[in-house]
Amino acid sequence: MHLLQLQIQDFRNLRKVNFKPVEGVNLITGVNASGKTSLLEAIYYLSHLRSFRTPQITDLINRQSSQLQLVARINTDYENIIPLGIQRSRNKLEVRANHQPIKRVADIATLFPVLAIHPDSYKLITGSPLQRRQYIDWGVFHVEHNYYSVWQRYKRALSQRNAALKSRQNNAYCSLWDRELFDMATYIDTLRGKYLANLAPYFNELVTEFFKGQTVEMMYKRGWPESTSLIELLQNELHKDRMKGLTQYGPHRAELNIKVDGQSAQTGISRGQQKTLVALLRLIQAQQFTESTGRNCILLYDDLAAELDSNHRQKILKVLAKMQVQLFITAIEAEQIDLSAWATKKMFHVEQGQLKDLI
Ligand SMILES: Nc1ncnc2c1ncn2[C@@H]1O[C@H](COP(=O)(O)OP(=O)(O)OP(=O)(O)O)[C@@H](O)[C@H]1O
Ligand SMILES: [Mg+2]
């Protein structure tokens, strides 16, 4: 899958941009505040229907406009080219794929899978467990087709159970959803475990190269103690759940712990190490995506040069050059990024929201 063309209207400072990237690597340069991150953010928005920088839609719509518009042409891996379009005003969202309205974000994400590495990405490590669950779930979602609906069922049962707990319903009523929770939880946990086991060889290979002589471990905690049955736990802990007004155990409490030489990656390593680690986590996710689906995804790398020292930068570029992804990199100056390893490449320059093709 790759992006052939993206027409942007009124997305942040990009008032009118016609972007025609290549299938290999696209380098976007420009001074501070020219609109580089905004360009990547627009691509990301088209896939996720949310930004990696802000939860507020009003931040994304150009200040002098009432709506933004993104119209893309993508080459799906099924040998066809289809249009994708988004129109977003402050209170209305319209999404179309191949001229048909799209109702679920899952559908557009499937058509147009996009991963991003950006200056705030280290929060994947330092932030809440939710972010790490989302990391795992992105991968599972793209490999297992019914994962999304199973998650939806789990979420519905969980919120109904929590509502019953909060409104102090009797035990029998609160337990009505236990079976559904248990069934969905078992499925979610199995698929998450399988996905992480699939990622492990990619992770180990890169970690050996980037964290020489160090031990880096990634440990998945499923959200309830090993060797206990969730259905029994739901029943036995019901009184505590009732006191707290929420369900304490289940895949909604899963966690991915990362340790470097026995130290928690959240608190015990440097920011540069965290950034490297997050980059590796995204790279392996893209690699595994290609292997398991036979499709390519898009990888956005915002501010690659600013993120890493030159040794790490070179190493990352070497890994990127071997990957089957459509790549978008931003940098202040072209000299910071060595693209010599790529056969298919194009350079762009942004100046005050205007995009120019360089070669
Ligand atoms: N909703 C908006 N409407 C208009 N302009 C906006 C909006 N949101 C942000 N901007 C402006 O867009 C400009 C481009 O921001 P962006 O973050 O894309 O720059 P950048 O090229 O990535 O810069 P840097 O090198 O500093 O990361 C900034 O000047 C910002 O103030
Ligand atoms: Mg930027």
Give nearest CA residue, ligand 1 atom 27.
Answer: 32
Question: Which atom in ligand 1 lies closest to the alpha carbon of residue 62?
Answer: 3
- Cα–Cα distance for residue pair 55/72, rounded to 1 Å: 22
User: Is 38's C-beta closer than 6 angstroms to any atom of ligand 1?
Assistant: yes
Torsion angle, alpha carbons of 114, 120, 126, 131, to 10: -30
Question: Which atom in ligand 1 lies closest to the alpha carbon of residue 10?
Answer: 3
User: Is 273's C-beta closer than 6 angstroms to any atom of ligand 1?
Assistant: no
User: Is 13's C-beta closer than 6 angstroms to any atom of ligand 1?
Assistant: yes
User: Is 53's C-beta closer than 6 angstroms to any atom of ligand 1?
Assistant: no
pTM, to two decimals: 0.95
For the chain, what percent of residues have pLDDT higher than 70? 99
User: Is 9's C-beta closer than 6 angstroms to any atom of ligand 1?
Assistant: no
pLDDT in tens, 59-103: 999 999 999 999 999 998 776 999 999 999 999 999 999 999 998
By C-alpha distance, which of 114, 120, 109 is closest to 52? 120
Average pLDDT rounded to a whole number, residues 227-233 = 95
Domain boundaries, the chain: 1-113+295-359
- Cα–Cα distance for residue pair 351/296, rounded to 1 Å: 30
Output the DSSP codes for 317-342.
Answer: HHHHHHS-EEEEEEESSGGGS--TT-
Contacts of residue 98, defined as CB under 8 A and 6 or more positions apart, other chains included, come to 82, 83, 84
Given this model, what pLDDT does residue 359 score? Answer: 67
Given this model, what pLDDT does residue 308 score? Answer: 85
Given this model, what pLDDT does residue 84 score? Answer: 97
Contacts of residue 224, defined as CB under 8 A and 6 or more positions apart, other chains included, come to 230, 233, 249, 250, 253
Looking at the predicted structure, is the pLDDT value of residue 260 above 90?
A: yes
What the block records as the tokens of 334 is 């072209």
Question: Which atom in ligand 1 lies closest to the alpha carbon of residue 59?
Answer: 1
Given this model, what pLDDT does residue 183 score? Answer: 97
To the nearest whole number, what is the mean pLDDT of the chain? 95
Tell me the residues surrounding ligand 2 (ion) with CB < 5 Å: 37
Cα 42 to averaged position of ligand 2 atoms, centre (Å): 13
Q: Are 255 and 264 in contact (CB under 8 A)?
A: no
User: Is 33's C-beta closer than 6 angstroms to any atom of ligand 1?
Assistant: yes
Given this model, what pLDDT does residue 77 score? Answer: 78
- Nearest ligand to the C-alpha atom of residue 34: 1
- Cα–Cα distance for residue pair 352/199, rounded to 1 Å: 40
pLDDT in tens, 95-137: 999 999 998 889 999 999 999 999 999 999 999 999 999 999 9
Given this model, what pLDDT does residue 317 score? Answer: 96
Identity of the residue numbered 85: G
- Strand ranges (E), 90-237: 93-97, 100-101, 114-117, 216-221
pLDDT in tens, 17-72: 999 999 999 999 999 999 999 999 999 999 999 999 999 999 999 999 999 999 99
Contacts of residue 274, defined as CB under 8 A and 6 or more positions apart, other chains included, come to 122, 125, 126, 265
CATH number belonging to domain 1-113+295-359: 3.40.50.300
By C-alpha distance, which of 223, 154, 49 is closest to 162? 154
